[in-house]
Amino acid sequence: MKKELRSDAFLQDVMERWGDMVYRLALGHAGNIADAEDIYQDVFLRLLRDTTAFKTEEHLKAWLLRVTLNCCHDLARSTQRRGTLELSELIADESADPAAEELWQAVAVLPPKLLTVIHLFYAEGYTTEQIALLLHCRPATVRTRLHRARKELKQLLGGENDEECRLERVREPDAPSICAATAETARTGSRRL
């Protein structure tokens, strides 16, 4: 029996709503535009051909993130890598805000496991429990990776205390900084924002 493809309207709607999220995650992992575009295309081709009945928008979003991460891992395992434009070059071209440019350059050098949790937590707004489900690990593991990533980013950006730290949420300018969250964790013992 032949599988029925999803409609173009459905695909267009999903690409408009979550295409940027898929592309940013792919670019963060791939480190160059060409591979990120390949991953982006592959994710949406898989969606077009997939017959999963998504129960909610969150289910669809989680599926997109999981498939994007799988495509990133497939690419990393691939032995045929080509020289292309690096993430730092893209950031320099597209970022008008020097602080955001500096932050994304620092995030880009994190190991993939740390980069993934930082992206999902700060750019996409997932909780540690949701990230744990997506990455098939324990919430404590996610919190540990977040702590390590914050610590590395703080060192990379030269922040010795909260006033000097320039790490802010990517999408929510009025949200607490990564450093404030780290300080709150140290003060209260709470591991959540």
Domains of the chain and any CATH numbers = 1-94 (1.10.1740), 96-193 (1.10.10.10)
Q: Are the C-beta atoms of 6 and 48 separated by less than 8 Å? A: yes
Please state the rounded mean pLDDT for residues 89-97.
53
Mean pLDDT, the chain, integer: 76
pLDDT for 92: 52
Amino acid type, 153 = L
Looking at the chain, the whole-number percentage of residues with pLDDT higher than 70 is: 69
DSSP class of residue 174 equals: T
Burial of residue 155, with CB atoms counted within 10 A of its CB: 0-12 exposed, 13-18 middle, 19 or more buried? exposed
Phi then psi for residue 93, to 5 deg, are -75, -40
Predicted structure pTM score: 0.55
